[in-house]
Amino acid sequence: MISPAFRDALQGWLDSQSALRGSSENTIIAYRRDVTGFLGFLTAHHGGEQGLGVLETIGVSDIRAWMAAERGQGASSRTLARRLSAVKSFYRWLADRQGFEATAVLSTRAPRFQKKLPRPLEKDAARAVIDLTETQSDKDWVGARDVAVLTLLYGCGLRISEALGLTAGDVPLAEVIRIVGKGGKERPVPVLPAARAAVDRYCALCPWDLPEDGPLFRGVRGAALSARAIQAVTARVRMQLGLPSSATPHALRHSFATHLLDAGGDLRAIQELLGHASLSTTQAYTAVDTARLMEVYNRTHPRS
């Protein structure tokens, strides 16, 4: 058990992340889990419930012990790096308010790991996923709904949460819509005619009332559509098409970016369309493009 003082400090930090940084609910949940795990370790490591004072005396050996314990429980380098990042952010916030030195925590290096590159679909595969999705339900409106969602992911580069966050008041979709993404950041997104047509068809077939302030996409019982439903139908489709497990709804967003890049799209413009805070995130797609080029080269070169 962590002490009430620990819990209060943690909640204060989480509130600041939500209010000032606009962190999403899922991000806040992950932060809470990561830092609670760290505070729980400290409590056990130092022999029972203690106040905030123990946080001010953390040394390098404590951080190493925590990281070793996380490793021992099976945490990967990627997971441990994410948890350490959350802990550092919490410590930075707390040190500013309590006036103590947090160098031991803030100077700790995260374990190195190889970043996973996005796994986009080929153009024909992306089209096949969307085409076959419509056949997965015996209700025409459900098939039209799922096609509309996936078309927004592939045709506009939306995150699934962004597509499902649209309200009925957003239709008919304009040629450019404003999307609020991660961190509450707003960006303009062009909407292709195919995406507008797919959404219009869904709206025409949907049996539920769609008040302007309500969710645009509905589940079979009329409640807001869940991301899980879209993930499930995509899983069925990829099995029928023989596609790898990486062929997820999010892969359609990756495909949007990669296919734009293939067509000569500007990296900075693609960054804006995707809503990436850092260009380095978008640059991962150049690595995908290079990796694919090298694969073709190695397969076809006369000396290979």
Domain ranges of the chain: 4-106, 123-298
CATH architecture, domain 4-106: Orthogonal Bundle (1.10)
**Cis omega (within 30 of 0) on the bond before 172?**
yes
The set of catalytic residues is 159, 182, 250, 253, 276, 285
Q: What pLDDT is attached to residue 199?
A: 96
Dist. CA 299–CA 304, nearest whole Å: 7
Q: Look-up: residue for tokens 């100077």?
A: 107
Number of alpha carbons in the 13 Å side-chain half-sphere of residue 291? 12
Dist. CA 105–CA 199, nearest whole Å: 49
58 and 104 in contact (C-beta within 8 Å)? yes
- Of 3.40.50.11030, 3.30.1360.120, 3.30.70.120, 1.10.443.10, which CATH number belongs to 123-298? 1.10.443.10
Tell me the per-residue pLDDT of 258-289, one tens digit each, with 9 for 90 and over.
766 665 555 555 555 565 445 444 455 554 44
Tell me the per-residue pLDDT of 141-177, one tens digit each, with 9 for 90 and over.
999 999 999 999 988 888 898 999 999 999 999 988 8
Domain 4-106 and domain 123-298 have a common topology: no
pLDDT category at 238 given cuts 50, 70, 90 is very high
59 and 107 in contact (C-beta within 8 Å)? no
pLDDT category at 25 given cuts 50, 70, 90 is confident
Instruction: Show the tokens assigned to 217.
Output: 């996409």
Q: Is the pTM of this model over 0.75?
A: no
pLDDT category at 179 given cuts 50, 70, 90 is confident
Name the amino acid, one letter, at 93. Answer: W
What percent of the chain is predicted at pLDDT more than 70?
78
Q: Which residues pair with 187 in a beta bridge?
A: 179
Tell me the per-residue pLDDT of 82-97, one tens digit each, with 9 for 90 and over.
898 888 888 889 888 8
Tell me the per-residue pLDDT of 101-136, one tens digit each, with 9 for 90 and over.
888 788 888 777 655 555 778 889 989 999 999 999
Dist. CA 36–CA 32, nearest whole Å: 6
Q: What pLDDT is attached to residue 103?
A: 83
Q: Which residues pair with 215 in a beta bridge?
A: 167
